[in-house]
Structure 1
Amino acid sequence: MPCASKPSNRSLAPIKSVMGFRQFSLRGLDLVNGEWSLVCLAWNLKRMAVLRPKFG
């Protein structure tokens, strides 16, 4: 396994393990790009909710 691919795999590990995202459901580059955007949006919203300071 080339060393260049290892950092990208580590950065995707939380999306794979926490969110259970293993493969794309749709076919075609445009549809896959849209699906990946939704996965990233969900991950970022989850991180924002966790890291947000709690008031009250």
Structure 2
Amino acid sequence: MKTIQVKPWGKDQGDFVLINEEDFDESVHERIDEGAKKGGKKPAAPAQDPVSKE
């Protein structure tokens, strides 16, 4: 069974809640990965350390 991440709806649920994909209800849940599916911004690439010259 596939699970998805949704935004928490209670204080003690942490950063996200995993639910079964078939239990997703748009009137109750908000997907965390929604931006990725609708062309949202990609995460920024990590900054690279400058090469030190010795």
The TM-score, its normalising length taken from structure 2, stands at 0.25
Larger relative strand fraction: 2
Task: Determine which structure has the larger helix proportion and give its number.
Answer: 1
More relative contact order, 1 or 2 (CA 8 Å, 6+ apart): 2
Larger Rg: 2
Structure-1-length-normalised TM-score: 0.25
